Amino acid sequence: MGTEGGNVRVIAGRYRLEAVIGRGGMGVVWRAADTLLGRQVAVKELGVDETLSEDEARQQRERMLREARAVAQLRHAHIIVVHDVVLHDGRPYIVMELVSGGSLADRLAQDGSVDAVEAARIGLALLGALRVAHAAGVLHRDLKPANVLLEPGTGRVVLTDFGIAQVEGATTLTETGGFVGSPEYTAPERMSGDRAGAGADLWSLGALLIAAVSGESPFRRDSLGGILHAVVYEEIRPPIEAEPLLPVIQGLLQREPVRRMGLDEAERLLRAYVATGSTPQYAPHRVPYSPTERDVPALRRRRVPTRVLLVASALVAALAGAGIAAAALLAGDGDNSPAGPSSAAPGSSRTASATGSPTPTVTVTRQETRTETPSPSAPQGYRIAEDAKGFSLAVPDGFTRSLDGPRVFYMSPGKVFRIGVKVTGTQAGGPGDVQRRAAADGPRNNPGYRDGKVTDTSHDGQEAALWEFSWDGFSAAEGARHTVDLCWEEDGRMYDVWVSAPVGRTGEARAYFDAAVDTFVAAPGR
């Protein structure tokens, strides 16, 4: 029972801790009674690093409370309700609704895997929860079956344990230089020590969907080193049970965040499957299906990976004090403009330039390398355009080429979709400064410019920057549009590739963008 020195523990003068119902790397979860309102609740007692100095411990507690309060503002049917956040005897506590029923992990352990329709239903519920969290700038960072509760009777799916959540852009509430999360469900960009965005949660969802239909994560291995190697480098081979949801899984388990399927597209495909029993294909990541006795085809990249990761840490005492060394050489993909592209159409005068698991501490060092890459082939429905400007890339069948000064466009009939490319010399400040200057000029060059965001990233091991924004289009007939734009430097040149499309067709646009960037090759000597 919730006793301390033989006495019942009551925190904040009202929550009586009655029994431990779970424990993990982030602390202990109690079933408790709210004596003020007369109801049962769950109380999570967050662990504080006892090795920190008094000032460091105070800062850690403040971060925990601040970010827990941010999570408490989230309201959604599929997000655990947080009733209160309190500090008692110097330790933070999160008071939550008590959901009857076990977790998805419990269900998989007791009853085996679920069918594809149930997995899709669970996936849709989690996408709804993530949509609300991400809109509020809150990243979950530990999406896994153990943190998905299934309420019996109602069928309600509840995402819980935001205990290691992070407010986007802020210092993580629990990290002190270590790794936080469950490796089998952790995105490769977090494994490599890069700053991770909302896409990391979508990667975790892809792994969770495989676990739901097969009973285990596709990255389960016998050691931490094996897990890290599988996540960052090995071909991903979903089991045969995942075939009905394969287009979604393929899209979510793209190692480069810039190529990963977005939330809207994942939701669209899952809804289509639930409604029709068939999942539409996702063109840029489509792989022919010819299953072996057990496996469907691996999720492959067309380019040779360009980043080498050396994982040189050991497991902390949390892993049973075994002192297991986890050194493994892992080759993985990099993350992922304009050098003045603007989204202007050719001919325009515009020239804008519940409970967690023990969490190992992992130290990662990264070494960038350059490799020779084979000539890419065109995905189904595309062709490789060998452009006179000194580059080649995949463009959809039926798109035609047009020039607008230094910019090359490949456009769909009616100019609904526009793929743009610009090649220049390197510029001061690199891709990041170039994109930020272009974003600053966005309101002048793109009518109704809004929601602009520049993210520093990488492309094939090179420094890069991704710029996304929406705008009103150049006429009322054209309507609102969305542009995604990647700029990078390579061999003394700056390359800029972007796609502009109607706001309501961003899924198709992202497919064209992914294919163009993934297959882009600069001609030697240009």
Tell me: the pLDDT tens digits for 471-486? 998 888 888 999 999 9
Shared fold status for 3-53+69-97 and 364-369+378-522: no
Q: Which has more confidence, 115 or 291? A: 115
CATH code at 3-53+69-97: 3.30.200.20
pLDDT of 303 > 80? The answer is no
CA pair distance 392, 377, nearest whole angstrom: 11
Identify the residue whose tokens are 């850690």. Answer: 60
Q: CA gyration radius for the chain?
A: 24
Check: CATH 1.10.510.10 for 104-304? yes
pLDDT of 366 > 50? The answer is no
From 141-150, 165-174, 209-218, 456-465, the region with the lowest mean pLDDT: 165-174
| Whether pTM exceeds 0.85 | no
Catalytically annotated residues: 142
Q: What is the 3-state secondary structure (H, E, C) of 117-149?
A: HHHHHHHHHHHHHHHHHHHCCEECCCCCHHHEE
Domain ranges of the chain: 3-53+69-97, 104-304, 364-369+378-522
Q: Are 104 and 58 in contact (CB under 8 A)?
A: no
Q: Are 148 and 122 in contact (CB under 8 A)?
A: yes
CB atoms inside a 10 Å sphere around CB 496? 26
From 134-138, 192-196, 211-215, 255-259, the region with the lowest mean pLDDT: 192-196
**Homologous superfamily (CATH) for 364-369+378-522:** Mog1/PsbP, alpha/beta/alpha sandwich (3.40.1000.10)
Q: Are 427 and 340 in contact (CB under 8 A)?
A: no
* Amino acid residing at 282: Y
Tell me: the pLDDT tens digits for 405-460? 889 999 999 899 999 999 998 888 899 999 999 999 999 988 899 989 888 877 77
Mean pLDDT of all residues in 313-330: 32
pLDDT of 291 > 60? The answer is no
What token pair was written down for 406?
């230094």
* 194 beta partners: none
Q: What is the 3-state secondary structure (H, E, C) of 76-121?
A: CCCECCEEEEEEECCEEEEEEECCCCCEHHHHHHHHCCCCHHHHHH
If residue 74 lies in a helix (H) or strand (E), which one and from where to where?
Answer: none
